[in-house]
C-alpha cells in the first residue's frame, strides 16, 4: 500500500506548528520498548496477519465469541472475601442483590498457605486479606443461601487448592448439588506463585502433579468447571509490563498443556476448560492491544498440538483492574483510574471483570466503596452503549499496529523460554522473576522523578489531605472465632476415620492416585485444610524460595535529578567513614503475605543508594526477623506490610528485638498502612512510617537522618 496522498502535506503542517522541529520528536518509548508515533495510517497495518480476523473465528483477535457483548455482556464478578465465612456470605448476598452476576472468592493468607487458623505462624493473618476457611463447615457457611447449581463461583486458590476445591465440592454435595452441576473456575496456577505471588506450599514438581490431578478429576466429573485460570494479573502487580505479562502468562499456559498431555489426557479433553486472568493497568491502548494479541498468540501456540475442538485454541479471560495503580493520596482519583481500566478490559474483549475499590490502597473495601466499584461496571455496561458493537476498536490503525508489536515482542520472549526448556526451567533459572523485578524498579524510578505522572502523588498534590471515609478493619477476634470452631469440629468428628482418610492422602501422594479424589473423603470426615495440607507436605515437603536482589536498575533509570541520588550516596559514604561500615538495612516481610514488589524495590533501590541491604526470607515470624536483624548486626529494619497485619506483627518484632538485645536497631515501616494507624505504630516504637507513593529518595533520606542522629551525633 502506498503512503497516504496527503501524508507529506500533513507532515509539513505539523512541523510548521512545531516551529520547524522534526515530527519524530513526538515519538515516545513505552516501558515495553515499543516506539509509538504520533500518527498512524493504513500503511502501518498493511499485511498484518492479526488484522484479518472476525470475532468468534480464528485467530480470535476480535474476540472469542461471534457476537461478543452484543449477544451477552461480560460477567460482573467482584473478588471479595474477608473476616469469617459468615461475614463474607452476608457481603456476597448484598452484592448479588445489587447486580453482581458471579462470585469470586478471596481467601485469607493462612488458608492460601495451607495453615489452620490456630497455627502459630499465622497469628497476624487470619481474615485480614480474605476469608478464613479451616474446614467444610466454614465453606458451607460461606455459600449458605447461594445455590451452587446456579451460581458460577471463581476461587483464587493455588497452594492449598486440593483441600479448598474439595471443600467446595463437598459443601455443594451437602446442598444436594451434584458434581456435574458445578460451574466456575479454580485459579490453580502455581507457576506464577514462584514468579510473583509466592503463596506456594510444595515444590514445583508435586505442585504440577496436583494441577494435572485436578484437570483429570474435573474433566471426568465436573464438565462445566474451569480447572485452571492462568494468571498474568499478579505479574502485572509485581511490575511486569504488558509484553512481559503476555509472554509469561502464555508460557505458563503452554507448560500446563504439556503437563496435562504428559499425564495421558487428550488436548481436547482439557484445553476447552482452560481460562486466563489478565491485569489491566493505566496504559489504555497498550492493554487493549495486549488482550487482542494474547488471543492471537494462544491460537498460534495451541495450533501446534492439532486440537480438533475450536475451543481448545480459543483464549477466554477474566480481567481485574490494577490494585497497584491505586493511591493512598487523593484516593477518590482511584474511581477514575478504575473506570479507565475497566473500559480498557471491555474494549479489549474480556469475558468477565472485577473492578477494584477506591480505598484498597488503604484497607479492605467497605460496602460503600465496593458499591461504587460494582456500579462502575454496571454503568459502563448499561449506559455507555459500548456493548452494542463488537470490537469497536478493530481496524484502528494504532490499535492494530500496537497489537502486532505486542505479538512480535511477546513471541521473542516465549521463544527464549522454550530455548531454556519451558517455563518451569525458566523459573528455575530465575529469568522471568528478574525481568519482572527489573521492570518494577525502573517503573518506580520513573515515578520518583515525575517522568510517569501519578496525579495526587507526584503532580497536582493536595497541600492538606485527610482521609474522610471509613477504613474497614478486621478485628483480631476473628482468629478466636475460627479457633473455637476448630475445637468444636475436632471434638465432634470420628477421629479414627479422619486419620484413615489422611493416611489415604499420604498414600496417594507417595504411590500415585488422584489427590483431589483422595481428599474428598477426608473433607467429608471433617479433616481440616491444615491437616490435609500437612498430609501432602509430609510427602512433598514445603518449598522455600531463594530471595535475591537486583542491582543497578533503579539508579540507571533515575537520570532526571542525579543530584538527589548523589546526595544520598555522599551521606552513606560519610556514614561509612564515621562508623567503619555502611548503614545496614534488613528488609523483611512478616506474616504470610507473598506480594514482594514493594520490599524488593526498596532493597534494590537502597542498595543502589549506598546501603548494605539484607533481605529476609519470605513469611517470617517477628521472632525470626528479629533474630536475623541481630545476627546480621543491622542498623535498621524496614518492615513491609500489605495485608493489614502491621498492628500485630510490627510491635511483636520490636519486642523480639528488645529480648535479643537489639535495643539500638531502628524500626521503620512501609506499605499499605492506614494513616489512622500511624500513631499506634509510633507508640509501639516505630521510628517512621512510609505510606504508599513515598518517593524512595525521600524515604532513604529520612531513614539516613534517623541513623545519623542515633549513631553519628
The catalytic site residues sit at 79, 233-234, 589, 593, 595
Is the separation of the CB atoms in 328 and 362 below 8 Å? yes
Question: Could you count the other beta carbons within 10 Å of the beta carbon of residue 304?
Answer: 10
Q: Express the helix, strand and coil content of the chain in percent, nearest 5 each.
A: 55, 10, 35
Q: What whole-number distance in Å separates Cα of residue 435 and Cα of residue 426?
A: 11
Q: What is the CA radius of gyration of the chain?
A: 26
Q: How far apart are CA 237 and CA 341, in angstroms?
A: 14
Contact 639, 649 (CB under 8 A): yes
> Which residues lie below 8 Å from residue 657, measured CB to CB, with a gap of 6+?
626, 629, 630, 637, 663, 665, 667
Adjacent-strand bridge partners of 639: 588, 669
**Peptide bond before residue 59 is cis, with ω within 30 degrees of 0:** yes
Please measure the distance between the N-terminal and C-terminal CA atoms of the chain and give it in whole angstroms: 73
Pairing of strands 228-231, 666-671: unpaired
Angle at 635 between CA 634 and CA 640, to 5 degrees: 80
**Cell 533501590 found at:** 605
Report residue 539 CA to chain centroid gap: 29
> How far is it between the farthest Cα atoms of the chain?
87
Closest CA to 560 of 461, 447, 455: 447
DSSP class of residue 710 equals: I
Residue 489: CB atoms within 10 Å:
17
Q: What phi and psi values does residue 73 have, to the nearest 5 degrees?
A: -65, 160
* Contact predicate 320/277, CB 8 Å: yes
Question: How many Å apart are CA 444 and CA 436, to the nearest integer?
Answer: 12
User: Which grid coordinates belong to 376?
Assistant: 462502575
Strand partners, 646: none
Q: How far is CA 640 from the centre of its chain?
A: 17
Distance CA 22, CA 15 (A): 6
Give me the helix-helix angle, 597-608 and 431-449, nearest 10°: 70
Residues 315 and 279: their CA atoms lie apart, in Å, by 15
CA dist., res. 85 & res. 140, Å (int)? 8
Instruction: Identify the CA nearest to 669 among candidates 639, 703, 634, 704.
Output: 639
CB 528 within 8 A of CB 139: no
Amino acid at each position: 500500500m502506498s503512503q497516504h496522498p496527503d501524508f507529506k502535506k500533513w507532515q509539513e503542517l505539523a512541523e510548521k506548528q512545531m516551529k520547524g522541529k522534526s515530527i519524530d520528536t513526538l515519538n515516545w518509548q513505552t516501558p515495553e520498548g515499543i516506539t509509538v508515533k504520533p500518527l498512524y495510517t493504513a500503511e502501518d497495518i498493511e499485511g498484518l496477519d492479526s488484522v484479518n480476523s472476525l470475532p468468534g473465528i480464528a485467530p480470535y483477535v476480535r474476540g472469542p465469541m461471534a457476537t461478543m457483548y452484543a449477544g451477552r455482556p461480560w460477567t460482573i464478578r467482584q473478588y471479595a472475601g474477608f473476616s469469617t465465612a459468615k461475614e463474607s456470605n452476608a457481603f456476597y448476598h448484598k452484592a448479588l442483590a445489587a447486580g453482581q452476576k458471579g462470585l469470586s472468592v478471596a481467601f485469607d493468607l493462612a488458608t492460601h498457605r495451607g495453615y489452620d487458623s490456630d497455627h502459630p505462624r499465622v497469628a497476624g493473618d487470619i481474615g485480614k486479606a480474605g476469608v478464613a476457611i479451616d474446614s467444610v463447615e466454614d465453606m458451607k457457611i460461606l455459600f449458605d443461601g447461594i445455590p451452587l447449581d446456579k451460581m458460577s463461583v471463581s476461587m483464587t486458590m493455588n497452594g492449598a487448592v486440593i483441600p479448598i476445591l474439595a471443600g467446595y465440592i463437598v459443601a455443594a454435595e451437602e446442598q444436594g448439588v451434584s458434581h456435574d452441576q458445578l460451574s466456575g473456575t479454580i485459579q490453580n496456577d502455581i507457576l506464577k506463585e514462584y514468579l510473583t505471588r509466592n503463596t506456594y506450599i510444595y515444590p514445583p514438581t508435586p505442585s504440577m502433579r496436583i494441577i494435572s490431578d485436578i484437570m483429570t478429576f474435573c474433566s471426568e466429573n465436573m464438565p462445566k468447571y474451569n480447572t485452571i485460570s492462568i494468571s498474568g494479573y499478579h505479574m502485572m502487580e509485581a511490575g511486569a509490563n504488558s509484553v512481559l505479562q503476555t509472554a509469561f502468562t502464555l508460557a505458563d499456559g503452554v507448560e500446563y498443556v504439556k503437563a496435562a498431555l504428559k499425564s495421558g489426557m487428550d488436548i481436547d479433553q482439557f484445553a476447552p476448560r482452560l481460562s486466563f486472568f489478565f491485569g489491566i493497568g493505566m496504559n489504555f491502548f497498550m492493554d487493549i492491544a495486549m488482550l487482542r494479541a494474547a488471543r492471537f498468540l494462544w491460537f498460534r501456540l495451541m495450533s501446534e498440538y492439532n486440537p480438533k475442538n475450536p475451543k481448545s485454541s480459543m483464549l477466554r479471560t477474566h480481567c481485574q483492574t490494577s490494585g497497584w495503580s491505586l493511591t493512598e493520596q487523593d484516593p477518590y482519583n482511584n474511581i477514575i483510574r478504575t473506570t479507565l481500566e475497566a473500559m480498557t478490559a471491555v474494549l479489549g474483549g474480556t469475558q468477565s471483570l472485577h473492578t477494584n475499590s477506591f480505598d484498597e490502597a488503604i484497607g479492605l473495601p467497605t460496602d460503600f466503596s465496593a458499591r461504587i466499584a460494582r456500579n462502575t461496571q454496571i454503568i459502563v455496561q448499561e449506559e455507555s452503549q459500548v456493548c452494542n458493537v463488537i470490537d469497536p476498536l478493530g481496524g484502528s490503525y494504532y490499535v492494530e499496529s500496537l497489537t502486532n508489536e505486542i505479538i512480535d515482542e511477546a513471541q521473542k520472549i516465549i521463544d527464549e523460554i522454550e530455548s531454556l526448556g519451558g517455563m518451569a526451567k525458566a523459573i528455575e533459572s530465575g529469568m522471568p522473576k528478574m525481568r519482572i523485578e527489573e521492570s518494577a524498579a525502573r517503573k518506580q524510578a520513573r515515578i520518583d522523578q515525575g517522568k510517569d505522572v501519578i496525579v495526587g502523588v507526584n503532580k497536582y498534590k493536595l497541600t492538606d489531605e485527610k482521609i474522610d471515609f471509613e477504613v474497614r478493619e478486621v478485628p483480631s477476634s476473628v482468629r478466636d472465632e475460627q479457633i473455637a470452631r476448630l475445637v468444636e469440629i475436632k471434638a465432634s468428628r470420628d477421629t479414627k476415620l479422619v486419620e484413615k482418610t489422611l493416611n489415604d492422602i499420604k498414600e496417594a501422594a507417595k504411590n500415585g492416585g488422584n489427590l483431589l479424589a483422595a481428599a474428598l473423603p477426608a473433607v467429608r470426615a471433617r479433616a481440616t485444610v491444615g491437616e490435609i495440607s500437612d498430609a501432602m507436605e509430609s510427602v512433598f515437603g514445603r518449598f522455600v524460595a531463594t530471595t535475591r536482589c537486583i542491582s543497578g536498575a533503579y539508579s540507571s533509570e533515575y537520570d532526571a535529578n542525579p543530584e538527589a541520588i548523589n546526595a544520598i550516596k555522599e551521606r552513606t559514604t560519610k556514614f561509612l567513614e564515621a562508623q567503619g561500615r555502611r548503614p545496614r538495612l534488613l528488609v523483611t516481610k512478616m506474616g504470610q503475605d507473598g506480594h514482594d514488589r514493594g520490599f524488593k524495590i526498596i532493597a534494590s533501590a537502597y542498595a543502589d543508594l549506598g546501603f548494605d541491604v539484607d533481605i529476609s526470607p519470605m513469611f517470617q515470624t517477628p521472632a525470626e526477623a528479629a533474630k536475623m536483624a541481630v545476627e546480621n548486626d543491622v542498623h535498621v529494619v524496614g518492615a513491609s506490610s500489605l495485608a493489614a497485619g502491621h498492628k500485630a506483627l510490627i510491635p511483636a518484632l520490636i519486642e523480639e528485638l528488645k529480648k535479643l538485645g537489639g535495643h539500638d536497631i531502628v524500626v521503620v515501616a512501609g506499605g499499605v498502612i492506614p494513616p489512622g494507624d500511624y500513631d499506634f505504630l509510633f507508640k509501639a516504637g516505630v521510628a517512621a512510617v512510609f505510606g504508599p507513593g513515598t518517593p524512595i529518595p525521600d524515604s532513604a533520606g529520612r531513614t539516613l537522618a534517623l541513623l545519623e542522629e542515633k549513631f553519628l551525633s
